[in-house]
Each structure stands twice: as C-alpha cells, then as structure tokens.
Structure 1
Amino acid sequence: MLHKIPLDNILFLDIETVPEEEDFNNLSEGLQELWRQKTEYQRRDEYTPEEFYDRAGIWAEFGKIVCISVGYFSSRNNERQFRTTSFHGEEKQLLIEFRNLLEGHFSQPYHLLCAHNGKEFDFPYIARRMIIHNINIPLKLNLFGKKPWEVPHLDTMELWKFGDYKHYTSLKLLTSILRVPSPKDDIDGSQVRDVFYNEKDLDRIVTYCEKDVVATAQVFLRFRGEDILSDDAILHV
C-alpha cells in the first residue's frame, strides 16, 4: 500500500512546543487552578503544580507552538530531493502561514500529511491552537464527520505498530534500529523549553525540528524498502 502513494503527495511535518507562559506564576489564578486540575493524575504526589509547569508544552490548552517544520519530496534532473522549510516565531502568524501552505499546495484529496506520533500529538495540537487563535482549520486537519479511511494522515509510529495499540516507539529508537542517521545530535524535546525561554535560541529549535522532519521521511522510505536520502539530496528552502 505504501508503495502506491506518490512521495510528492506527502507533506512531512513536526512541531516544537513550549509552555505558553515562561513561568507558572505568570498564569492567572484561574488558569493556575485549572492547571492543578488538569495535571493532578500525572503529578500525583511527586510534583507541585508549579514544579510540573515546565512540561505544560505537552498540552495544547497550556502550551504553544514555536516552530512547525515541513518537508516534501521533489525531483530535479531525475534525482530525488527532499526540501525542508520552517514556520517559526509568533504563534498565530506561523499557524496562518502553515494553513496557507496547506490550502495553497497540499489541499487536493490525494495529498497526505505525515508525522511521527502525529495522530496523537502534532495534528490535533495544531488544530486546537488554531481554534484558540480563531483561525479556520484547513480541510487536512478538520476530521469532523470523516470515516477512518478518509482521514488524510499518515503516522510513522502507527505504521510501526502493525495494529499493536499498546506499543510506543520513539523516532530516535526507530532511526537507530533502521540505521537512519539520528536527528538527536543537539537537544531533545525535554530541553526545548529551556532553549526557548532561557537561551532564547529559536534558530537552534528550528534546526532540531527540521532534523526530525528529515528523520521521519527517512523512516518512511525504509518502510517502503527504499534507500534513504543522501545528505546532498536534503535541501533547506
């Protein structure tokens, strides 16, 4: 089935998120209480709500997107290339720019979105943040009324499960066992908050995010039994 999908019909993507506020005390009293309620099960008796707030980026209600990186296959002189670009900065603007990309270039019925754990994280997170910012959700993210086989999403983690719903495999582990160059040579997801708020190094986050997009595309090629991309076939545009 995967071999029947033209690679240039797929938009690969990854997002990076952080807590919406730098510090728990910056939240209103109402949001602080809602945060306590939201995370009670996860915190149990190990962390106070304030101590746990550095993980707020996981939840779309308390986090925000600081980067969306995308990648797509193209051909030049009969040679396969993979081009990446990123939307970053102020959240509402980057969401509008990402929506414009989808509506302008990836809106046809045959177009698909692909991410690692995208069905549980990236796709719903983007849609929720768009609603929060009063941005119309593009068709590729609006799943209301769609049957499972009509959902235009691919998920490399789901493909690796082969129907085993209890199985979680990180992108880092997949790249290791499939002999794909690891994208995790700088920071990991747990450090993005500190790099954004403390180091204020958004460029570093963008680079990290784009590497994840490349890794997802490489894993997808391996699922198809194809050779992975060489470094000179990967371009930032």
Structure 2
Amino acid sequence: MLKKIPSQKVLFLDIETVPEVGNWSELSDEWKDLWAKKIDKQLTEDETAEEFYGKRAGILAEFGKIICISCGIIVENDKIHLKSFYGDNESQILKDFNELINGKYFDSNVIFCAHNGKEFDFPYMARRMIINEIELPPALDLQGKKPWEIPHLDTMELWKFGDYKHYTSLNLLAAVLGIPTPKDDIDGSQVASVYYDDHDLGRIKTYCEKDVLTVAQIFRKFRGENLLERK
C-alpha cells in the first residue's frame, strides 16, 4: 500500500518549537497559574513549575511557538529538495508554509509525513495556526474526516506495526535502518537554549532539515527504495 503513494505528493516535514517566552519571569501571573495547573500532575516532588517550564513549555502548543518548519520534496533522479521557513515571526512562518502547500505543485493533494507527526507536528501546527488566526489548510483540517481520509503518514506509526505501546525515536530508527544520524550536532532538548541564548537560528534550521532528510530516508527504506541525495 505504501508503494502506491506517489512520492512526489508527499511533503516530509519537521518543526522546531520553543517556549513562547524565554524566561519564567516574563510570564504574567495569570499564565504562571495556567502553566502550574496544566502540568501539576507531571511534576515530581523535587521539581517546581518554573523548572518544568524551561524543560517542557516548548512542546505544548498553548505555551510554545514554532520557530522553524523544514520541508522536503522528492524530485527526479532520487533526489530531495529541502526548504525551510524559520525566524522569530511565527505567524509569517505559518503563512509562508501555507502558501507552499496551497500552491500549484501540490494541487491540494499533499500528504504530510513526519516522525511522530500525528502526536506532535501536525496537531501542534494546527493549534498554532488557530492561535495566530490563520486558516487551516485542508491537510490539517481534520474535522469530519474519516481516518482513511486524513492525508498523514507517520514513520513512527509505520514502525509500530500495530503495537500501540512502542515508541522509537527518530535517531534510533535511523540507526537500526543504517541511515546516518540526524543528531550529530544538537538534539531537541537543546533547541530552546540555541534559540534564546545563542540566537543561532541557522543552526536550528540545519538541524531541522537533517531530521526531514532522515524521515524521507526512512520512508524510502520502508518502500525498499534507494536512499536519497540532497538536491
């Protein structure tokens, strides 16, 4: 079934997210309280809401923001073209991404593919679009759609083979399949520090694009195809 999907219609993607503000002190009392209530049951006895904010706020769409969306499209001769939307203006990043997927190339038939995308990337983007008052593209507007009508592929879900308890990181799956690791510089836990402390968006963009390339390579492995070269 996977082999029947036209690879040119698959958009491989990855997002990088950070807490919406860099420091706990920048939050209003209202938002500090909302955060504390949101994560109350996740705290250990030795953790405070402030400490947990630095660790986890970036992965919750209500408290984080997108700073990079990287995309990959397979083109001729087993090559992949990568493109990134990144910066400090989340609204513009999301608008530029929408312009890409609503363009003539995909003709509204785009299929999103990400690692753990169904649990993280896809809903996160949809929530942040709603927050930024941006109309959802068809590929993220899932209301009323049947499961088989949703144009999403998830390499982690494909690897589960029906096992709902199994979690495999992108890095581990790449290693198992003999694909070069995308985590040869930073990992997800360091993105907020690189953004707020180092102000190095270029480094984050490069990291995000490596993840996209890895997702595409895994997709190729699942289909029994040759690995891709970057165009």
TM-score normalised per structure 1: 0.94
User: What is residue 86 of structure 1 aligned with on the other side?
Assistant: 84
Instruction: Determine what percentage of the aligned residue pairs are the same residue.
Output: 58
1:226 is displaced (CA, Å) by 1.4
User: What is residue 234 of structure 1 aligned with on the other side?
Assistant: 230
Does residue 27 in structure 1 map to residue 27 in structure 2?
yes
User: What is residue 199 of structure 1 aligned with on the other side?
Assistant: 198
1:163 is displaced (CA, Å) by 0.6
Q: Is the 8 A contact 2:101 2:108 kept in 1?
A: no
Measured on the aligned residues, the alpha-carbon RMSD in Å equals 0.9
User: What is residue 65 of structure 1 aligned with on the other side?
Assistant: 66
User: What is residue 13 of structure 1 aligned with on the other side?
Assistant: 13
Q: Is the 8 A contact 2:74 2:81 kept in 1?
A: yes
Q: Is the 8 A contact 2:78 2:226 kept in 1?
A: no
- SS of aligned partner of 2:195: helix
Count residues with an aligned counterpart.
228
Report runs of 4+ in structure 1 exceeding 3 Å deviation: none
1:146 is displaced (CA, Å) by 0.3
1:31-180 equivalences in 2 (<5 Å): 31-54=31-54, 55-75=56-76, 79-89=77-87, 90-104=89-103, 105-109=105-109, 111-180=110-179
Paired amino acid for 2:196: Y
Residue-by-residue CA offset, 1:2-56 (whole Å, 9 max, x unaligned): 1111110100000000000000110111000000011111113231011111120
Separation in 2, partners of 1:142, 1:107? 16
Q: Is the 8 A contact 1:107 1:140 kept in 2?
A: no
Paired amino acid for 1:43: L
Separation in 1, partners of 2:169, 2:46? 25
Separation in 2, partners of 1:129, 1:26? 20
Separation in 1, partners of 2:191, 2:211? 13
- SS of aligned partner of 2:189: helix
Separation in 2, partners of 1:20, 1:67? 13
1:107 is displaced (CA, Å) by 4.2
- SS of aligned partner of 2:45: coil
Q: Is the 8 A contact 2:171 2:182 kept in 1?
A: yes
1:143 is displaced (CA, Å) by 0.3
Unaligned runs of 5+ in 2: none
1:209 is displaced (CA, Å) by 0.1
Separation in 2, partners of 1:29, 1:128? 23
Distance verdict in 2 for CA 1:107–1:39, change over 3 Å? farther
TM-score normalised per structure 2: 0.97
- SS of aligned partner of 1:120: coil
- SS of aligned partner of 1:134: coil
- SS of aligned partner of 1:96: helix
User: What is residue 183 of structure 1 aligned with on the other side?
Assistant: 182
Paired amino acid for 2:230: I
Distance verdict in 2 for CA 1:94–1:173, change over 3 Å? same
